[in-house]
Amino acid sequence: MSARLIKDDIYAVGTIDWNERHFHGHTYVTKRGVTYNSYLIIDEKVTLIDTVRKGFEKELIENIKSVVDPAKIDVIIINHIEPDHSGAFPEILKLCPNARIYGTEKARQGLLKYYGVSGDWTAVKSGQSLNIGKRKLDFIDVPMIHWPDSMFTYSSYDKILFSNDGFGQHYATNKVFDDEVNFAALMDEAQKYYANILWPFNTLVAAKLSEISKLNLNIDIIAPSHGLVWRKYISEIIQKYLYWSSHSCQDRVAVVYETMWQSTEKMARKIVEGITSEGIEAVLFNVTENDRTDIASYMLDAKGWVFGSSTHDGEMLPVITGFLHFLKGSKAKGRTSFAFGSYGWSGEAVKDIEDTISGITSLEPSLRVVFNPTEEELNKCYEVGKAFALKIKYKS
Ligand code: FEO
């Protein structure tokens, strides 16, 4: 991808990682790949906003060179130091050794720890700004959205908010703007991104959105450092962030299970039948066959969470164990759950599930069967599912 103009004298110079499928180690399955967005502003002071992941330096440098000699960069703004944005920083710094670097103090400390260099650093925070010529760039720190060092940069001249991880999506494409791709796919990736990156920080996201709205910024463009640049659907994505960060839920249920000999699966299917008999949507996820990324995305605004596991060696099964520990990090609110599962002789899995998730959801009575469920026990699963649906329907 070469540089693309997103506004007069502002270029997207980032890179596309078409084949990235496991972002953040293996915590996030990125089926559509990833982009690392970086922006170049040509003003009296040539300014680069964020860099890209290590391994993509050459491409970033080529993209910059297609607009300006990198040696002419006067200012580098580091909105966030996670290596997907800062990995190329040391190489870029070598090309423009006289550039001044702007970011939070925590960002400076983090860069030093990662790379041993931070350049000629000026620490900035909310309320401070930088004149680069025609433009004044305002800094807005957004700690824990989603690292302590994170900040946004706003150009009132261009009405652009450079939001780094905020409003991102993992969507590899050579298109630049939100209206150049399929809207449903875009919003699906935005939801997946929120569920897997920002969900644990709902309270902070809600507070920061409220604080930013009081600044009355004029925003024509939100330019995140992952995925598409928002210009047409700004109101839609902001409404979604307000909705997700408020722990709002829909009347729907995720039934997530792991099974050894399909007895727990039979229970899961009957529970789903019971739930849907009351007109409530329920989706069945075998946790060994679905990516946790997709399950978390569905669960982000599902009011009902149901979890099942067979008991194996006195424990719940290993894949659902990992999933529930991952889910605990969400710090979700307003959910209702119950646990179920089949067992041979001891049946600890159900209690394991309850113990793991009790901090993030209220719990209804659990359901266990020995070995293979009988017709009568399956009917019981159906009835429990039906009763659970009514709780979901009438719970405010
Ligand atoms: Fe895209 Fe927190 O890095």
267 shares a domain with 222: no
Instruction: Give the residue whose CA is nearest to atom 2 of ligand 1.
Output: 82
φ, ψ at 122 (rounded to 5°): -120, 120
The residue with tokens 């099974």 is 259
Q: What is the mean pLDDT of the chain?
A: 97
- Rounded CA-CA distance 393/207 in Å is 29
pLDDT tens-digit profile of 338-394?
999 999 999 999 999 999 999 999 999 999 999 999 999 999 999 999 999 999 998
* Atom number, ligand 1, closest to the C-alpha of residue 225: 1
In a domain, 291, yes or no: yes
The single-letter DSSP state of residue 195 is I
Structural domain including 81 reads: 4-245
The single-letter DSSP state of residue 228 is P
What is the helix (H) or strand (E) element at residue 202, kind and residue range? helix 202-214
- Residue 106 confidence (pLDDT): 98
In a domain, 279, yes or no: yes
CA angle 136–138–140, rounded 5-degree value: 175
230 shares a domain with 299: no
Instruction: Report the number of distinct structural domains present in the chain.
Output: 2
323 shares a domain with 194: no
221 shares a domain with 259: no
| Regions of the chain where pLDDT drops below 70 | 1, 396
Instruction: Give the residue whose CA is nearest to atom 1 of ligand 1.
Output: 165
Question: Catalytic site residues?
Answer: 24, 80, 82, 84, 146, 165, 193, 226
- Rounded CA-CA distance 345/293 in Å is 33
241 shares a domain with 102: yes
Q: 109: closest CA among 140, 160, 147? A: 147
Cis amide linkage into residue 146, ω under 30° from 0? yes
Q: What is the DSSP secondary-structure string of 67-112?
A: TS-GGGEEEEE-S--SHHHHTTHHHHHHH-TT-EEEE-HHHHHHHH
- Residue 1 confidence (pLDDT): 65
- Rounded CA-CA distance 322/297 in Å is 16
Quote the pTM value: 0.96
* Atom number, ligand 1, closest to the C-alpha of residue 164: 1
Which domain CATH number covers 348? 3.40.50.360
- Residue 353 confidence (pLDDT): 98
Q: What is the DSSP secondary-structure string of 1-68?
A: ---EEEETTEEE--EEETT--EETTTTEE-TT-EEE--EEE-SSSEEEE----TT-HHHHHHHHHTTS
In a domain, 288, yes or no: yes
- Residue 2 confidence (pLDDT): 85
43 shares a domain with 174: yes
In a domain, 396, yes or no: no
Ligand 1 centroid–CA 198 distance in Å is 10
186 shares a domain with 141: yes
- Is-contact 208 245, C-beta < 8 A? no
- Is-contact 160 11, C-beta < 8 A? no
Rounded CA Rg of the chain = 24
147 shares a domain with 76: yes
* Dihedral (Cα; 167, 171, 176, 179), 10-degree rounding: -80
pLDDT tens-digit profile of 179-207?
999 999 999 999 999 999 999 999 999 99
Reduced to 3 states, what is the DSSP secondary structure of residue 312?
A: strand
290 shares a domain with 206: no
What is the helix (H) or strand (E) element at residue 271, kind and residue range? helix 263-276
Which of 213, 245, 277 finishes a domain? 245
- Rounded CA-CA distance 151/168 in Å is 14
* Dihedral (Cα; 163, 167, 173, 179), 10-degree rounding: -110
pLDDT tens-digit profile of 169-180?
999 999 999 999
115 shares a domain with 55: yes
- Rounded CA-CA distance 171/181 in Å is 10
Which of 245, 271, 291 finishes a domain? 245
Q: What is the DSSP secondary-structure string of 343-393?
A: ESS---HHHHHHHHHTTTSEE---EEEESSPPHHHHHHHHHHHHHHHHHHH
In a domain, 27, yes or no: yes
161 shares a domain with 97: yes
Ligand 1 pocket: which residues have CB below 6 Å?
A: 80, 82, 84-85, 146-147, 165, 225-226
- Rounded CA-CA distance 86/93 in Å is 11
Instruction: Give the residue whose CA is nearest to atom 3 of ligand 1.
Output: 82
Q: One-letter amino acid identity for 126?
A: S
Ligand 1 centroid–CA 160 distance in Å is 19
340 shares a domain with 297: yes
Which of 245, 280, 300 finishes a domain? 245
Ligand 1 centroid–CA 75 distance in Å is 21
In a domain, 86, yes or no: yes
* Atom number, ligand 1, closest to the C-alpha of residue 146: 2
Which domain CATH number covers 218? 3.60.15.10
- Residue 262 confidence (pLDDT): 97
- Residue 24 confidence (pLDDT): 87
* Atom number, ligand 1, closest to the C-alpha of residue 197: 2
